[in-house]
Chain A
Amino acid sequence: MNLFSDIYSVFWLDLRVMGRHWKSLIATSLVLPLLYLVAFGYGLGRGIDVDGVSYLAFVIPGIVALTAFSTSFNGASSKLQVDKMYYKSFDELLMSPVSSYAIIIGKALIGVLRGAISATAIYLAGLALAPTLLVSPLSSLIFLMLMLLSCFVFALFGVMVALLIASHHGMSNFSTLVILPMTFLCGTFFSLNQLPSIAKAVLYFLPLTHSATLLRSTVLGLPFPWLSFVGFLIFGSAFFIGCVFALKRSSV
């Protein structure tokens, strides 16, 4: 058996479960970003300019990055946590001949799928509100590719955290102390140029900052931020290595 069929076997289970609840899963993941879009973009931000563009155009890619982040992270981590802690069905994967790499990627894919669906829906809603964001078909294609990359990196982040944290309480603390601050601080709703350089430097150590920067630059027709691209790939690699470490730590 090759790696790809093993990855699909792992993904198959989550896909099957999602197939049963897809309407509610997608609907619930869209509520918060749509509220952000209406409240911050269409309501509060009307008539305001940031970095030379309208706030609406500025905030939409940030909300897309945020949606990719939260939906992919939660999509990958929540089912894995349930499988690991309550159903104990994750043990079955560990006792099977499926490789660690296939388990990690297979478990991340459900987060990628859910994140991609939600983020695309928010992007399309954003385009309806601010058609100027559609710079060119090529930039839209690059935007979608970067959005998929974001979903994959954040899903790996979710898998790593779910593997490392051993309790529901711990997961809840992580969400409050790490995920929630990232949601608001990583340049999703405001320009990092407004911050002191120390705060800006700290925020560059968080992956969502790079995802928001990449998506915003692409959709606003700004120069491609290669540094953020490389930084984001480093985050993705670190999360993958973290997943491998977490798996090797427990089982043989």
Chain B
Amino acid sequence: MESICTENLCKNYGTVKAIDNLNLSVHAGEIFGFLGPNGAGKTTTIRVLTTLTRPTSGSVSVGGYNVKDEPDKVKKMIGVVQQHLSLDRDLTVRENMEFRARIQHLNASKRKQRITELLEYVELTEFADKMVDTLSGGMKKKAAIVCSLLHEPKLLFLDEPTVGLDAQARRRLWDFVRRLNKDGTTIFLTTHYIEEAEVLCDRVGIMHHGQLIAVDKPANLREKVGSIVVETLVDNKETHYQFFANRESANAYVKGLPADVKTVIIRESNLEDVFIEQTGEKVGGQ
């Protein structure tokens, strides 16, 4: 079953095409990653899918409901964690949760029950009555995520969920996202971290200049360009990448390289290689 389906979706800001003819399907129950550099159109896509931005053209359905025609039904079934966290810093964690539960129409007893449950789920109970600004970056992320889970959404959008987190906090958050997914929540996340997309996502879509240039399982995407990559540095100037289906072919290629090629690295390919191969650019934009 499709949790998200877009057909020929476009969003223009003046002459800039932020989303250019996007055709995308996200299956219920999966963790889908949207990978691409800043400005690729990832956040705009999330804003359109979550009713925050009107599309210029094309159709969008979320959970089987058309976003333009039935936005209220869409709103009831989604949870969204924005890149900027969108917590009210004049309130405590509990007050933020209380507010978000109220606007999701949870009654008083359900509000109390869900807030208690979720605070325990993310081990934030002892920080519940602290002002949001006093929490660490990882705790703020967790608080923002539980705020979006109060009404038990079927589909959770995470926009760059681990930006600004240290390595440990990032890995803890990955475990948390996996746990949510295991409990039945479909996850749609955007990221510009290659590792995050590879280790966390069942399928990955690669965005570039508003266009979806590839979508598949990370392993399949790597296989398509070649599982093994040989990096060579010629005249200490430019790095060249050559892709091979297996290590034997790569070794044979290295043996035949001219003597002036000095630095040679043979390694497994990753999604960054897929991105470079498809676009000629790095995910970071260089």
Contacts and interface: CB of A to CB of B under 8 A. Distances in A.
A1 B108 CA distance: 13
Interface in A83-99: 83, 87-89, 91-98
B105 interface: yes
B226 interface: no
Nearest to A9: B102
A40 interface: no
B103 A10 contact: yes
Interface in B82-109: 82, 84-91, 95, 98-100, 102-105
- Name the prevailing secondary structure of the A interface residues: helix
B87 A252 contact: no
Contacts of A89: 86-88
B103 A16 contact: no
A89 to B, nearest CB: 5
Contacts of A94: 51-52
A87 B87 CA distance: 6
A92 B97 CA distance: 12
Contacts of A145: none
Contacts of B54: 250-252
Contacts of B71: 252
A169 interface: no
A16, A83, A93, A96: most-surrounded residue (chain B CB, <10 A): A96
A9, A91, A97, A252: most-surrounded residue (chain B CB, <10 A): A252
Nearest to A17: B90
B92 to A, nearest CB: 9
Interface stretch (B73-81, B118-126, B251-259): B73-81
Given A95-B75, A250-B52, 13 more contacts: A6-B103, A12-B99, A13-B95, A17-B88, A87-B84, A87-B87, A88-B86, A89-B87, A92-B80, A92-B103, A94-B51, A251-B51, A252-B51
9 contacts: A6-B103, A13-B95, A20-B90, A83-B88, A91-B82, A93-B103, A97-B104, A251-B52, A252-B67
Interface of B: 50-54, 67-68, 71-72, 75-76, 78, 80, 82, 84-91, 95, 98-100, 102-105, 147
Interface of A: 1, 6, 9-10, 12-13, 16-17, 20, 83, 87-89, 91-98, 250-252
